[in-house]
Amino acid sequence: MFELKEVYKSFISEGGQVEAVSNVCLRIDKGEIFGIIGSSGAGKSTLIRCLNLLEKPEKGKVIFKGHDLLSLSKKQMRHERKKIGMVFQNFNLLASRTVFENVAFPIGTKTKSEVKEKVLALLEIVGISDKVNNYPNQLSGGQKQRVAIARALANDPHVLLCDEATSALDPQTTASILSLLKELNEKLNLTIILITHEMSVIKSICHRVAIMDKGKIIEVDTVINIFTNPKKPLTKSFIQESFNHKEIRNLIDKNKLFKENSHLYEFIYKQESASKALIATLIKKYQLEINIIAGKIEIISGESIGHLVIIIEGEDKSVKSALRFLSSQGVLVKEFEENE
Amino acid sequence: MNNLEKLFPNVMDLKVIIFTETLATIKMVVIAGAIAFLIGLVLAIGLVLFRKKGLFPNKLLFQLIDSLVNVFRAVPFVILLVAIFPLTRLLVGTTLGLAGSIVPLVFATAPFFARQIESALLDVEDGLIEAAISMGCSNFEIVYRVYLREAIPGLIRAITITLISLLSLTTMVGAIAGGGIGDLALMYGLRRNMLDITYITVIIILAMVYLIQFSAVLALKKLNKGEKKNEKVVN
Ligand SMILES: Nc1ncnc2c1ncn2[C@@H]1O[C@H](COP(=O)(O)OP(=O)(O)O)[C@@H](O)[C@H]1O
Ligand SMILES: [Mg+2]
């Protein structure tokens, strides 16, 4: 669907030159939900805006369905943009137009009744048919984003770009918008590219994810692999944010749980390894004392992922062989580190 | 009736003149206002499009319009009026009467209008423009379907402020080119010491200001459905 080759974009600011997107290469396939996660200022927005040339890369290629967008004329580019829908963090609805008029806005050469049919069908899909004649300021954030999504779909795009589409919404509304996106992906086979700073968003709907830092993509993989086998420290810190490590540390110190021959570990494992009663094996076979400090199981891309923070007590030798056993069972074992 | 005549002894005698001069002022405001609006609109769109972050950045054109607007706004009206006499004569053949008034009024009002409209257009959020670009709109479509449409409340406010300031300019132009309510106040109120004529001109002007603001409030209210509540008309 999209292929980025060595895309580069910098800005001149007071502090000098900022390399917002630095030689990014990326391939996004048809039909997938692709997430890009990074901290604020990592260059996510700039990168996603390079996809429809809202931001023009200084170097590199942006290939959309086989065409290099940078080589198109203005008119051809406008035509291509109609196939690339985009939604924004703050919705960007036209305040002077009703919901109907907003969704009808991008629709080009069609008769009045065709437009009406199309708009009503779109509003049905995004689930706000009852607000046709309302103005944007009469809607909640979630409803506004639904209108924005309907508008972005008005020209039957092949791909939908979402720039922090849920970041202005509360958790419940976020969940409902994400499930709408997922539905669109499944029903319409719509390719979706979304950027976010929240791992929970990636976790709930993305198939693949890229981690972005200081203008560079540092890791790309399926979400399940990223969660079970993250490689870069930043990736780890993103997936660890579901546990508050500082609080866990405080808990351990407060209750004096940590003894001389204690080892503190974090285990991340897929369901298949979980079902093999890992903990029981550790206790029985390796004669270890196990103290579970924190734990949870999450469903990611349809697979359940376990996450435990554990204190292991026992002889160094048996601890080592226990850890080896765990690795052989596909459990990711990490020393517990505090992240800020 | 008797009391009224005592209070306004000359008004009754001069009511025809008062009526025609009021009409003259209205004509000045409407004609000069309409022409200045169109010129101001073009200048403002130019300023918005050609600015650094505009759709069509062009430093040269931006600075040209920007300084043109500044210069004409900086010159005090009475001086501008006199300074462009030759141009006025060239354009309409006279410097007197309605025709002679319109030219300087347009010159003084268009830059003012341009600034007001510019600020109304700049109030349209950049995000809306980006959304429109992302939907494949052309620059022309963005100007008339987004900028102008979304700025309508701001444009109404711009028109209100500008018309009121134009109204006060018409009284000054009346003193030199002749005609209008300002002329009336000078000719009768001042020179012939008819105090009641001065008062009636004040009342008429106030009524006009009120009418302009009232229409603006009404128009905004009609639009208010789509806009945030509590929009006020600035004056
Ligand atoms: N229009 C711009 N002008 C100057 N600097 C910019 C502009 N847009 C983004 N930047 C800078 O580029 C970097 C990346 O920004 P952005 O892509 O918005 O990051 P993110 O969306 O990941 O928070 C930041 O340092 C930001 O300050
Ligand atoms: Mg951003």
Encoded tokens for B103: 């030219």
Q: Distance (Å, rounded) from C-alpha B136 to C-alpha B66?
A: 30
* Digit-coded pLDDT (tens) for A51-98: 999 999 999 999 999 999 999 999 999 999 999 999 999 999 999 999
CATH number, residue B127: 1.10.3720.10
Ligand 1: residue whose CA is nearest its atom 16? A43
Residue B147 clears pLDDT 80, i.e. is over it: yes
Question: Is any Cβ of chain A less than 8 angstroms from the Cβ of B150?
Answer: yes
Residue A236 clears pLDDT 90, i.e. is over it: no
The mean pLDDT of chain A is 89
Q: Residue B112 falls within a domain, yes or no?
A: yes
Which among B134, B223, B228 is the nearest to A137, CB-wise?
B228
* Digit-coded pLDDT (tens) for B186-195: 888 888 888 8
Atom of ligand 1 at shortest range from CA of A38: 22
Instruction: For chain A, report the end-to-end CA distance as a whole number of angstroms.
Output: 38
What mean pLDDT comes out for the span A221-247? 81
DSSP B227: S
Q: Distance (Å, rounded) from C-alpha B95 to C-alpha B222?
A: 41
Please report which confidence band the pLDDT of residue A273 belongs to, taking 50, 70 and 90 as the band edges. Answer: low
Residues of chain B found within 8 Å of residue A92, distances taken between Cβ atoms: 125, 127-128, 130-131
Residue A307 clears pLDDT 90, i.e. is over it: no
Winning range, highest mean pLDDT, from A109-118, A177-186, A197-206: A177-186
Listing DSSP states for A46-107 in one string gives: HHHHHHTTSS--SEEEEEETTEEGGGS-HHHHHHHHTTEEEE-TT----TTS-HHHHHHTT-
CA distances from A228 to A224, A325, A332 (A): 6, 17, 6
Q: Residue B234 falls within a domain, yes or no?
A: no
Winning range, highest mean pLDDT, from A13-22, A108-117, A150-159, B167-176: A150-159
ipTM above 0.90, yes or no: no
Q: Residue B183 falls within a domain, yes or no?
A: yes
Residue B74: which domain range? 2-229
Listing DSSP states for A243-310 in one string gives: S-HHHHHHHHHHTT---TTEEEEEEEEEHHHHTTTHHHHHHHHH--EEEEEEEEEEEETTEEEEEEEE
Q: Residue B235 falls within a domain, yes or no?
A: no
Question: Do B186 and B21 meet the contact criterion of CB atoms below 8 Å apart?
Answer: no
Encoded tokens for B91: 């354009």
For residues A289 and B234, which has the higher predicted lDDT (pLDDT)? A289
Q: Residue B76 falls within a domain, yes or no?
A: yes
Residue B233 clears pLDDT 50, i.e. is over it: no
Q: Which residues of A touch B (CB under 8 A)?
A: 52, 54, 78-82, 84-86, 88, 90, 92, 94-98, 105-106, 135-137, 151-152, 154-155, 161
Q: What is the pTM of this model?
A: 0.85
Q: How many domains does chain B contain in total?
A: 1
Residue A290 clears pLDDT 60, i.e. is over it: yes
Which among B133, B135, B227 is the nearest to A95, CB-wise?
B227
